[in-house]
Chain A
Amino acid sequence: MATDGPDRTAPDVRGDARKGEADAWGAFGLVVSGVLVWGGVGWFVSDRLDNRLPLLVGLLVGMFAGLYLVWFRYGRA
């Protein structure tokens, strides 16, 4: 390697920590997105039907979908 930077082929513990930080924010973003997207759809439907149930269903579905995505992206070894 011609550049004078440190050797990037050696395993780097700090690099692992970086990945952990990105994964933690990614997990947070997925759960937030799930609740926002499907909660938002539920809110819209609730607003139209004048009934609170769709909102509740949307929030819960979004939460579980977000959690499933977190498991899918980060949880499987």
Chain B
Amino acid sequence: MTGNVNMVGYGLAAIGPGIGIGLIFAAYISGVARQPEARGVLQSIAILGFALAEALAIIGIGLAFAL
């Protein structure tokens, strides 16, 4: 079996952002369900949180290839 341990590390590192994105949208959905009129505000916050978590995953794959 051949491969690169970096990729295993990236696989492990991607778990965190994966869970994080799930939690962000779970909170967003329950927030909209409770207060549908707050959708606009919640949406921009959810997308910011999503981008932050996503950035960790993307920087992870960049570093896995680079270092």
Contacts and interface: CB of A to CB of B under 8 A. Distances in A.
A binds B: yes
A35 B59 contact: yes
Contacts of B59: 35, 59-60, 63
Contact-size category for B: 10 to 19
A70 B50 CA distance: 10
Contacts, number: 67
Contact of A70 (B41, B48, B58, B62): B48
For chain A, what secondary structure do more than half of its interface residues adopt (helix, strand, loop), or is it mixed?
helix
Contacts of A30: 51
Contact-size category for A: 20 to 34
Contact of A63 (B39, B45, B48, B58): B58
